[in-house]
Amino acid sequence: MVDFIGIERVQQLVARRGPARFMEELAGEIEADFLRWGEFDKSARHATHSPVGVIELMPACDGRLYSFKYVNGHPKNTAVGLLTVTAFGVLADVETGYPLLLSELTLTTALRTAATSALAARRLARPNSGVMALIGNGAQSEFQTIAFHHMLGIREVRLYDTDPAATDKLERNLAGARLNGLRVVRCASTAAAVQGADIVTTVTADKRNAVILTPQMVAPGMHLNAVGGDCPGKTELHPDILRRPEARVVVEFEPQSRIEGEIQQLEAGFPVTELAAVLAGRAPGRVGERDVTIFDSVGFALEDFASLRYLRRIHHEQHGAHRQIDIVPDLEDPKDLFALLAAAPAATAAPARALA
């Protein structure tokens, strides 16, 4: 039997901690695994692209545990009432190859993405940053806002989306979340939202080389949390932002980001720093007040590895329905797989049809 964590169970686990505490704890798990960077077998995710979206597999292994995530990205899904992103994941024991956990990762991916964004911003944004612009107010936006408010002390969030209904939704949800001390400002354009911001988070969904931010919008000292560009042909920043002399670009896993991140727009040798090196203190994050720091985040399998491990631990720590599913046979004789069929109840045969 294999542990199973579905949507309802994740709702319970998050509710008992609260989203803010859950994401802070998850950020701690993610940081701990980034600090073990050298222990992991790492590879860029395997992506299958179509004209309307992408389906990906994201593996990671530290020699003891192995994980993978199945995830899709289909920006047009919302037009027919479907999610843009869905995901599930597996955590397995390397010694036996047996799966230990099958879990939903649609909700968890949003939580871990925001947790990673805030974790990176702690090292890259200016100390005491208080204002964040949030460009793109869709499915990720509440999670990003809560994480930055709780983990960095953001006091004002400035909202803009080309779809006013998305901003309506975000305003309602933030009001319901009761985030003490947070001022929510609705803006008429991206330029208005980023004016005076310490941090700019871009989390748009269009699968194209968009220009959400132009060089003129980026002031010295800003931290850019570029989340929405996450596959080939999908970017948000004008490439000249990345080329600014004072820009410092941080990525999760360079080989993957060269294919999928904002840096796909630039020459192969363009210098970047991996987040693991910044977290471990092997490379600087922000050096000066005028640095423009850019977290070119596409999401990396290590973050899902940490999320699955965290979910499994708190799943067993907290009371509730510990569901299991029988996706691995339990045999008296491991060489006799056919016994499962021999012992199965006989099925009622369908009546034979007479031939004309």
Catalytic residue among 230, 291, 296, 304: 230
Query: Is 230 among the catalytic positions?
Result: yes
Chain Cα centroid distance, residue 108: 8
Q: Which residues are catalytic?
A: 230
